[in-house]
Structure 1
Amino acid sequence: CLPPGTSQGQWIAYGYINSWLSVYNDNYCKSMSTQVHEVGHNLGLAHSAKDGVSYGDKSGMMGFSYNRDDGPFLCFNPAKTYQLGWFNDKAVEVDPINHGTWSGLIIGSSDYKNDLAGESANVIVKIKTGGSKDYYVGYNRKKWMNSGVLLAGDRVTIIEQGDGYSQSDFVGNLAPTTEQPLNSKRIFDNFGNSGRNLVVEFVDRESRFDEANIAIYFDDCVYPACCEGAQCNMVISNPIPAPTFPPTFPPSTRKPTGKPTGKPTGKPTAAPTENQNFSIEYNNNQSPPAQPKELLNENFRYDLGVFSNTGVNEVTREIFQYVLTASFPLTNAWSNPSITTVVPLQNTNTVKVTFWYNAERMRYGEGFKLQYSTQHGDTWTDVNSYVYGEGGFNTANKWHHAELETFQVHEGVSTVQIRFVGETERPVTESVFHVAGVVISGQ
């Protein structure tokens, strides 16, 4: 919490993505919703939008915040809680194009541990579209920890979101057919380019009001006739979402203005589109696939952290565009900077690396490489090259995301060395690039 006047301008708060740090201005330290919103950023969540407004979804805490110290009581929307994996044992994936229709009961997040709720009831239904974004369906039950929800209380909500750090969009909310038949369905035309229209219907509430009966089907059949027999409820078994690893990133709300928390004057560079990257077994008797194991997460909070200088030019820890980075100076073709670390593999042999990079100033043809070695640094193997002017890396002072750069080592190898090394063929240059948020996982 910062006292008034610490920094210029009217701002409320900001939180670093996937970090421990959130900063609050003056009295907004007392705002419960602001605290939860910024902690959401710390957990890797982007904003919850509605109708083109970045903060417009009032059904969850990643929308607007309010200058109150005692509320409102509401949760994150279904897309965000799915991303966090909080209700994993009561989340289900539905693939309508490949596996037919589905119907079942869903409950609100407040009833997750309610013994009176049906054992088969889910908290989240993810509808796979086959595209870059999927739909997430939840019952926005207005009770207990969600009793103060300000949008679509006691209705079924549909949220659209991509993988990883991605802004969600409030698509719609449904009332039961038995109460408001005109507001009980949402139709998605030409769903997933299948040539068929998908229907999501809030059929009715169960007698206790805490359970919502929903159906997902195509409009070329009539519910419930189309949801009987072998083609009904063919779903992917309860998923175990793979962890996402977005890096510490610029404050998501650099200098917001107005009340409630408004659209920030500065926003993070393009949200990551990192895939969850997990395989699904359709045979429920099969064990779920092994999930990635985080081996290293370096945000350069303390100098270069686990990395050490191994090149002629010294790499330094800098703050660039509000981000803690490793800063690489390029001076000539004979003095390339590099940093190296040793990573214990913990019985894994598929290694995945994700990080952010930014060219503060750089000439075309210059760049850097990500390399690994299992020979104590005697020989190095390129994972990928990042050359300025190629593959979209052509704009200075713009953050780029290297997503899941992957390589394999032989079984039995216990450690691997990872190296970032700058490259230039120029006899004289003054280029500088930055690397941030390095996460390494094994599988």
Structure 2
Amino acid sequence: MRRIRKTIYSVAVLCGVLWGCAGTYSSALASDEKPLTLKMALELSEERNLDILSAREELVRAKGKIVEADAEGLPTFNAGASYTRREAGKEDILEEDVYSAGVTLTQPLYKGGQIRAGKRQASYGLLQAENFYKETREQIALDVYNRFYAVLLEKENVATAEDALAFAEKYLEEVKKKRVLGLATGLEITRAEKQLAENRSALIRATNNLKTAHLDLFELLNLAPDAPYMVQGKIAYVPIDGGDLALSLAKALELRPELLRAKNLVKEREQSVEIAKSGLRPSVSVSGSYRYDDPNQTGYDKKDTWLARLNVDIPIIDSGATHGRVVQQTALLEQAKRGVEKKEEAIRTEVQSVYLDLDTAAQVLKEAKVNLDLAKETLRLAEVGYREGVGIQLDVLNARASLTQAMQEHSAALRNYAYTIVRLKKAEGNLVDEPVLSSIEE
């Protein structure tokens, strides 16, 4: 028996040590977590987001197109050599090995305007890539705000669920004490236990929603699901005045990269028309070449030959091929012009809609705050009435459920108001350059 007790004691000590080590390890894991602020999330998106990285490669490609377009007007230098092994033994073949080599330098002078138009088109293509890069950054920044705010909202919902659960646990204990004193019934205990079970389920759902929101944010930032980051901050109420719709519209029409891309596309299409028209225009180039041939095979005394040439090509008839290309490119040009008009109207509509949404969000937030205050007061009065015997238990339970809902609605309204301000910056086209960081309390 003594040996058994000693064994049990040893096992208990070992479990205690292991439990302490596990607790230390958990603390170490928690200490390894890095705080992730909104500013850090925006910076990480610039460094790691796959869409932004892809847009940067588009910039590289556009710069390569400029190099290619410039090369169309630069000289080309080609060299070549040949060696032939012939069968000897016949009278007309004087030697078995035949050598030749040559170099050619060609400089285009005029290609019907194709060279100049190609350079301009490439430069507009670079502007297109730059605007696409900015457009991508603006959209990803908006997504970062959206998902970051979603995490903060779910954190508030978890806190609300924890508060409701704590209330339910405390309330169940009070009802049990009243039952002992004969002041509560078994039905009231059952109701309190039911509320406790519902609040536990609500906390589980809120916790899982928070984990999902973290995963969505990490995916956007191209982070591993188990990355050691913990979102930090709390959505704050930062009211803004009514704003200036006309000023916002002017900013949007000046800064929105989507509109700038549409305008650059028109310029790019104009150069495509010029390139198509070059099919019926003359082209001029000069070239010089030097060639070495085996004199024993050519029959000449000299073994090298110099040649200079001026090439002028004047197309006369191409059976309508150039006309067909011009018609196609002109149609694409007209489509691009219509695209600019369509984009301008869409931007105007978006800015006006965001202003309406901002006004709505402000009113909803105001009403949610009033509803939250009323819910708190209703619960206080219900608890006092039930305690004094002038109220019923259902009043307390319903008041507590209403308070939980009011807290959730207030958090959602606060998040929606803050996010609508971000949407306004995005609609104006300067979200990246003027980030909205004051809406977060660190």
If the length of structure 1 is used for normalisation, what is the TM-score?
0.19
Q: Which one has a larger percent strand, Structure 1 or Structure 2?
A: 1
Q: Which has the higher contact order (CA 8 A, sep 6+)?
A: 2
User: Max radius of gyration: which structure?
Assistant: 2
